[in-house]
Structure formats: structure tokens, C-alpha cells
Structure 1
Amino acid sequence: MSRIIGVLTGGGDCPGLNAVIRAVVKRATRDFGWTVVGVEDGFLGLMEREARTRPLTPRDVVGLLPKGGTILGTSNRANPFSGPDGKDQSERVARHVESLGLDALVCVGGDGTQTIAHRLYERYGVPVVGVPKTIDNDVAATDYTFGFDSARACATIAVDRLHSTAESHDRVMLLEVMGRDAGFIALHAGLAGGADVILLPEIPYDVAAVADAIRRRKARGRSFSVVVVAEGSRPLGGEKVYQAAGRLGGIAHHLAEALQAHIDLECRVTVLGHLQRGGSPTPFDRLLATRFGAAALDLVAEERFDQMVALSGNAIVAVSLEEAIGRPRRVDPQGELCRTARSLGICLGEAT
């Protein structure tokens, strides 16, 4: 039976989005003979008076696998239930889905995108299937999201490079990485790159403890240190730092200023920022995104809507969107990776 499948990419961009689009288009046309329609700029393309879509054929996805970003565009402020003017435009989205004749809408995005997809299904019966993505790796019900490995690799390379300049100048180099309220990028990159201090949103840090770790290194003849700071970190009894409304950023500068009162080494700050989102996806992210895209078509074929593909161990499984958005993933302060960091003498900012 011929079907029309819509696909959109919502939220912030990350490496691997195009690999999902490619997999959806190739499998839909090759295995099922279905038509694929791309929705432009995430849900925003369905919130406007005229829907903005484009046909997607196998020719349109040639060469997409290593390409970063998304050919469909995206928006992290397009929420149909509270539009730019504060009005609920979800009914318009549902009407567009019906008028376009979409038999399913594959929604590729993080927790915000999947929450919107779930609400559209609950309120209007929009036949949605979720595909999780985020560099933060904070979507529940999946072991990994694509985009995370590419961001982790970028941050690890930055830690590697900061080591040499820190040692050359006897400096404390602070690297601020993304992750919102989850510290996965900081923890993984810090361990992989051999950082001396790793600060996470899940463990409020004590400035004195961080300073003490740096002083102890200096006493052992290591007159430099590398500190990886997750953007959502905060000091004990303090607040998170925002560079704009709702946008985390700047905690590393605050920490550097606070440290200078405790140590006699110069502190320098590097904010990695959107470098973590850009560029070509790693082989792991290409493979995971491809598997997710292909598996999403199985859910469509079986009409298992309001579900999301996920990685469990090494298997691709399906989970309910309700489960996926119920509770965000966070670093476990007592988990194996944090225990490993402590066992190697890495300071996690905990008060002694």
C-alpha cells in the first residue's frame, strides 16, 4: 500500500541528522515504495499558514552520510503549543499533516521535540514516530543518542590540545563544554582526555576543593592543570550561570575568577561552544543514525505510533514516547564512570 511519510528535524542541530534523513528516504522508497516529504525548519514548517515542505527522493540524499547539520533546517523555538506569539498553533499542525496526506510523521529531535510529538498524538491522533538525537545524551529510554559521540570526540580533542599549551606556560586551562543539565560530554571527554578536574551539573562543586587539587598537583611538580567544566555546573550553594534568558554559558569564567583568589597560577578559559554541534558525524554517529532511521520505518509499517526508536545495549528497540520524555537522563554521581574518575585521582569538585 502506498504511503506518504513526513520527516522533520527539530531542536538544535547535531551531526547525524542527515544520516537519519538519508536512511528514511532510502528505505521508504526501496523497501516499501513510499513517498517521503521533508518538513522544513522542524515544526515551524507546519505552524505557518502555508506548510513548507519539499519532496525527498533518493537523488536528494546522495552524499548526505558524512554531511553535518540538516538539509531540512531546524528550529529550537518552534513549539506548536506555545508559538512565537504565545498562541497555541497545534491544531494548524494537525490540519497540515492531514491536508498533506501524511500517513506518518517521523520526528527527529531531543526531549523537546519528542514531547511535542507525544502531545500531538495524544490530542489529535497525529501518527508520529520518534527518533532521538542530542549531543547532550540526556534523552531517557535510550543508552545513546546520535550526536553525542561526535561532540564527545570534539571535546576530547580540545582537552588533548589544551594539555600541551597548559604545560608549556604553567597555566590552569578551563574548558567549558555543552550538555545543558547533563554532564555526559564533560565526564566522557574529561576521562578520555586525561583532565585533572571534571565538574558536572550533577555534583555541585566546592571552589576550595578544586583549588586544593590544583595546589596538590603543583606540589608534586605538575605546575599546570586542565579543568573540564560542563556548562550546567554550579558551585555549592550557588546558581547556574546564563549568558542569556534560558541559555547556559559562562560558568568557566566565573570559576576562573574564583580560583585566582586561591592559587598563584594563571587561569585561562576556552568555551568550546557550537564547535561541538558542527562538522561531520563520527562513524559511530553515522551508524547509529542510519540504524535509527531504518528502524523508524519498521514502526511506521507496523503502525506503532507514539513510539520512539532507541538503543538498548547493541540492539535497536522501540519505547513509548511517554517513557522517553518522562525523566531526563543524568550522570550518576555514584556510577562507574564517576568512580573511575575518583580512583584515578581526578577531582570532581566534591568538598572534602
Structure 2
Amino acid sequence: MIAIVGAGPSGSHLAYLLAKNGFKVQVFEEHSEVGRPVSCTGLVSEDIKEIVSVPSRLILNRIRNARIFSPSGKELKIQLAENLVLDRARFDLWLSEKAALAGAEYYLGTKFEGWTRAGRSFLLRMRDPKGRNSVFRADYVVGADGPLSAVAKEAGIYGRRSFYTAIQAEVPWNEKREIMFWLEQGGVSWIVPLGNGRALAGVAFEEGAARRFKTFCRNFGRKNLRRSSAALIPKFNPLQRLEKDRVFLVGDAAGQVKATTLGGIVPGMRSAVELSKSFNSIFGYTPRYMARVFPDLYSCLLVRRILDNCSNSELDSLVETLGRADLVKVLNGVSRDRMLSLGLKAISREPKLVGFCKRLFVKSSQKK
């Protein structure tokens, strides 16, 4: 029996892959409804198509254009490989229904409280909404339970973690086909069109997120903000341990989040694929993850370090350089999830970009 704690995209996709291959799977979700509460833009790159075939009814918008702004307002316009804006609540529910049809058992409103070891098995302690306790036996445990993963803590592999605070709300917005990002030290701001005269406007920062969100949304007017939400987003840690003694971590529980745009759906689900394969392979989860998922996550981390160590004037210069017509042609059509490929293509066309790599090691002495 494989117990998965958490029914987000990573947990449910893993449950589906394992169940369809004959494994007995139980999924425990703390909330009473899969996909709620929603605290994500639902924006994914076209790479999601390599993992699952998303039904059109779950897609709110399709976007190819992006505008990226520097602190002073310099602008880079590029055409992306197709991005999808998903209805996150319905997407999560669809993944869980697929897993259940494949044979996975779901227990909603069930909170993980810890375990006792019984030989090679785990006796999992669970609590329902009425406070009643239950015990479930499992041979393996997977933590897909978010950035504050209780499974990681119980297994002793939580490690040292830090987080971004993300806040977003629905706002009036008529532009349907263009994502907007603002580059800033210590975080990012965005507008993601939903395609129905509304958009998700949000910020994610290590510090001062509430203040920055208030400033960012001032132009929309407080009365126009709807469905605001807040969440913690883990900072990607390349040293994060992913497994120990038949316990595994996946998704936000493992910090598998792009440090550039802070998206975690695609890397988390990719990691779930590699974990599922490890159960039928001589190659374990960690080496598979390091070969297939880690490189792009690490390249995103390097880009984030450069951005955070640049002064505002350097960020202006970076956006201005990337906005050259010949470089825009190189960047057009590249997936946001392929940061390593994107960076190498840009540097091959403009070697001066190598100069920004010094910001991997030295923070600018200029004022922000």
C-alpha cells in the first residue's frame, strides 16, 4: 500500500500513475473538497501537454504573448510557446477523479497526524473533521502536502526552508492574450488574463508582500478586487532531501518550484512521473529527478539569483538588451519551463549577457 498525503496536482497525478500500474494507493486530503481553496494563478506552459492531455473545458484562456517590465518601466515583448490558464479547482478535481477511476482510494477531510513504525510498515494516524482518529497501514508514504509538509517534518527531511508570500485577486481586465510580469528584487508581480473581462493580479515576495500588493492593485480600486487569496510558495532549495526510509516528497512539499515565475504545477507533476517510475525501476526517485527535473529548476534558481543581485539600473539594462529585435527572435517560442535552453540561446546571440553572470556571486552596491 502506498499512502499519499495531499490531493493537489502532484499527489493526484502520482496516485493515477501508480494505480493504473496496479499499485494499491490511498490519498489523504486535509480539506473536505479537492481543489479548494484555490491559491494559484493556474498558469502553465505548454510542457503540461507532455504530462497530461488537459480537457478544453478546464482551460480558461490560451496565451502566447508576454510583456516583461523592469523597475523603471522598460519593456520586453516576446511570443511564448502556448501558455494555458487552467481552472485550478476543476483541474485538481479532474486529476483526482482520474486517479479514483484508476483505483486510488480518496479520504477527504482527513488530516495527517503522524505515524508509528511497525517493522517496514507505517501506521498512519489520521484525524477527521469531527476529531475522530483512524489508523491506516502503508508500506510507503508520499508527502504531497504543500510547502509546510507535515510528512517531511515527521520523516526528518523538512530541512531549512524559506518562502515567498503570494497574494492575488481578480481584477477587471480587458486584454485577453497577454501575460504581464514585473521583474523586481526579491520577487515578482503579474497580471494573468482569465479571458472573461477579468484577470488575476498578484505579487510574491520574500518580504513586504502585503504592502507591495496594496500598491500594485491601487490602480484597480479596492472595490474591484474579488476573490483575493494568499499562500506560501517555497523557495527552491537544490539541497532539499527528497526521500528517506520509504518516505518520498513531491511538489511543493519538496520545494519543486521555478524560482523565476514561482510556478510549481509542471515541475511537481514531472517529479510525480519520475517517482512513479522509480517503483518499477532499479533507478531510484532522486537520481531520476536529478536527471529529468532538477536541471531546469536549478537554472531558474541561477536566474533568480542574478535578478535579486542586480540593481534597478542593471535590470533596466538587461530588459533593454533582451528587447533587441535579433534577441527577441531567439527567445520567441521558447517554453518558460526551459530556462536553461532559453539562457544558452540568448548568450550565444549576445555574449555581453555573460557579464550579468557576475551577479550570481556579487550583489550590486548600487541602491535599489
- Do these two structures clear the TM 0.5 threshold for a shared fold by scoring above it? no
Q: Which fold has the larger relative contact order, with Cα–Cα distance below 8 Å and residues 6 or more apart in sequence? A: 1
When Rg is computed on C-alpha atoms for both structures, the one with the higher figure is 1
TM-score by length of 1: 0.35
TM-score by length of 2: 0.34
